Amino acid sequence: MKFAQFQYILLLLIVFTNNSYGQQKDILSNTLITPKEYYLQVKQFGEFIDRFNYKSDWRGNLITDEFKKAIPRKNYILYLVNNEDSRLIDSKDSSYRALCSDFIAFVDDSKNPQNINLFSGQVKAFVDAQILYKGVKKHAKFELIPEVLPDRSAKWVINSVETDCFAMNSDSLLKHFIAPNSHETSFINIKKLISVSDPTYLLSKSTASTLLFINEIEKKHITMNNTEKITFRISFTGWEIVVEEFVRSTNNSGWLISDIKRL
Amino acid sequence: MKMRYLLTLLFIGFFLAGNAQEPTKTAISSKEAKIVDEINLSDADIEVFKEQTKQKVDEFQQHIVTIGSKEQPAEKRNMAEKEALKLFFKGAEMQTSVISPDGSVAIQSRPMEKYLARLKSLPFTAVVIKFYDLVYISSFTKGPDGRYYSSATVIQEFTGFTGDNISYRDVTKKEIEIVIDLVEDKFFNEKKWKVFLGNIKATETKKV
């Protein structure tokens, strides 16, 4: 731990003493030297990925051998964890601290180092948005995933939408369903789709919610207001981490790991 | 222990000396022609795009400083407003979020035209806007429309005066969408990549 603290001081020293870089890049007359916390802050999610992958230093430059010698990957990843998490300073329960250490060791395994690839299916984004449904303020939670197209271009697509706009009728839920043994009869009763009054009852909850939301958008019953919060869930074999933005004026701020789970 | 600190300082010296060198400039015009036929971006192409993006962001920052400055003549500020709008894709919005003392966040979106017009008429006798020298630009990803997308982060310090007194001061982080589009240059009868700015998300990070 003492060594980690020493490296942290080293990192701060590098930031503090690095005024010459700012002066070289001083294009605007109204330019100020950037305070150190903004260099250390993880300003973009892409920057989080680059730092996690040990690709870029705190300036966004490629990590050099000198940097590697000064700050090993396991210590660099430690700076990406929200250090104000009460579980990290709980004197009675060290389980989350141990979990963090295990995860970092898993990522920094020299034989099988782990990386994040935005377009490999590891990353899901969850967006909390404020909407107006028939003039009433409501909330919607969008799940988005990156999709890569054959020409190697990419885009985010909406995977599902959950809202507090629609309520399922409990009587209809008891009446309209595909029986649990249907797989033994080649799902013959899937034809219920065309006979039930509301086929959305035969869909999964998230698909039904998404479909209803899109239908209401088409009918212009929904107005999109603001996005309020973004959360990223990143999965690895046997692990999942949650990344959120921490808006505060400290060295440990921006896009950081807010939770680590062993699956 | 003293030895360790001496070694640390020595390391910092080497580190800074290494980073003080300016990156090699790529010949933009010849690169541009090459980029057109490529699907994937090479590191050199990314550097060209990053340099162009930085120039465009600097231009936007300079316009913001002029628009906000009440010492500048109205004509100059109006011109800066017009020129700033030319940097954006049509329909770009500015989303601002302000943190209240109770921790709640107020979010508001405005069309870029309205944001810039509002910047001109803020209720202060003088306004000083300065930007930090840090401009972080993410990597570029090709979209289904063939354009390349990225985002740039800049940090702005705003000070509003009433008379000689500072009545408001904050630091805001701005995330700017960057779109690189292939546009036709009719004069030279060729297509060129051009950097445009898109939506901006502004987050107040602290009140000073």
Rounded Cα gap, residues A30 and B110, in angstroms: 26
Assigned domain for B3 exists: no
Rounded Cα gap, residues A48 and A243, in angstroms: 9
Phi, psi dihedral angles at A9 (to 5 degrees) = -60, -40
Judged by a CB distance cut-off of 8 A, whether residue A31 touches chain B is yes
Res A88 pLDDT > 70: yes
ipTM of this predicted structure: 0.78
Report the pLDDT value the prediction gives residue A5, as an integer from 0 to 100.
Answer: 53
- This prediction has a pTM of 0.80
Assigned domain for B11 exists: no
Domain count across chain B: 1
Q: Where are the beta strands (DSSP E) in B61-189?
A: 93-99, 105-111, 126-137, 141-142, 148-162, 165-185
Q: What tokens appear for B19 in the block?
A: 């980073």
CA-closest candidate to residue A7, choices A78, A98, A94, A60: A78
Q: pLDDT tens for residues B128-178?
A: 898 888 888 988 899 999 899 999 999 988 898 988 899 888 888 999 999
- Interface test with chain B among A38, A59, A228, by most B beta carbons within 10 Å: A38
Q: pLDDT tens for residues A101-128?
A: 999 999 999 999 999 999 989 999 999 9
Please name the residues between 171 and 210 in chain A that touch chain B, using a CB distance below 8 Å.
Answer: none
Res A238 pLDDT > 90: yes
CA-closest candidate to residue A121, choices A148, A142, A141: A148
- Interface test with chain A among B57, B69, B141, by most A beta carbons within 10 Å: B141
DSSP letter at A227?
Answer: E
CA of B136 vs chain A CAs: smallest distance (Å): 7
CB pairs under 8 A between A and B: 121
- State which residues form the domain around B190: 42-207
Give the range among A90-99, A237-246, B1-10 with minimum mean pLDDT.
B1-10
Residues from chain B that touch A22, judged by Cβ atoms under 8 A, are: 133-134
Q: What CATH number is attached to the domain comprising B99?
A: 3.10.450
Subunit contact B136:A26, Cβ cutoff 8 A: no
- Interface test with chain B among A32, A51, A59, by most B beta carbons within 10 Å: A32
Q: What is the DSSP string of B158-208?
A: EEEEETTEEEEEEEEEEEEEEEEEEEEETTTTEEEEEEEEEEEEEEEEEE-
Residue A7: pLDDT band with limits 50, 70, 90: low
Q: What is the mean pLDDT of chain A?
A: 86
Asked if residue A158 lies in contact with residue A143, where contact means CB atoms within 8 angstroms, the answer is yes
Asked if residue A198 lies in contact with residue A172, where contact means CB atoms within 8 angstroms, the answer is yes
Res B70 pLDDT > 70: yes
Overall average pLDDT of the A46-72 stretch: 93
- Bridge partners (DSSP) listed for residue B170: B158, B207
